[in-house]
Amino acid sequence: MLPAAWVNDPRVIAREPNFVSINATSEVDLMGQVASETIAGRYWSGSGGQTDFARGVQYSEGGQVFLVLHSTTSAGLGRINVRLTPGSVVTTLKNTVDKVVTEHGVAELRGRSLSARARALIEIAHPDHRERLRHEAGQAGLLS
C-alpha cells in the first residue's frame, strides 16, 4: 500500500487523466460551497482527502469532482440551503465542485454563473424544500 501523503497529493492526482473524485458531504449552499466536516454547524470530522482530491482533479485532464448527499436529514431538514448553517466549515470551495448529486438528480456546476448554480442545486433539492429555496435565493439576490 502507498502512504496517504502520496495518494492524496494533488500533484499526483493531477497527473492521472480523467480522474474522478466522489466524496460524501453533509451540506451544500446554493453557490456550491460544501461543508463536509460539520453537521448542523458543529464540528463532526476531518476532511479526509476530500480537499486534496478536489484540488488535484482540477488539473487532471477530463477529471471531475462529484459531491454526493441525501437531500434531507433523517428529520426532514434540507441539506441544500441558501447559505451553510452558521458554524459550518467550508471543506470544498465552490470553484472546485463539478457536480453535486442527490437522489433527485445531478447539478452540474463547473463554469456556471451563481444564478445557474443556484437553479441547478434547487432542482436536486428535496421537492418539499424547492419553493422555499427559490424564495430565499431570490431574497439573497442569487437568481438574477
**What are the residue ranges spanned by the domains of the chain?**
4-139
Within 13 Å of residue 130, how many CA atoms lie on the same side as its CB?
A: 11
What is the pTM for the complete model shown? 0.93
Q: What is the CATH number of domain 4-139?
A: 3.40.1080.20
Q: Give pLDDT tens digits for 82-122.
A: 999 999 999 999 999 999 999 999 999 999 999 999 999 99
Residue 92: strand pairing partners = 34
- 106: number of Cβ within 10 Å: 15
Tell me how far apart the alpha carbons of residues 126 and 131 are, in angstroms, rounded to a whole number: 10
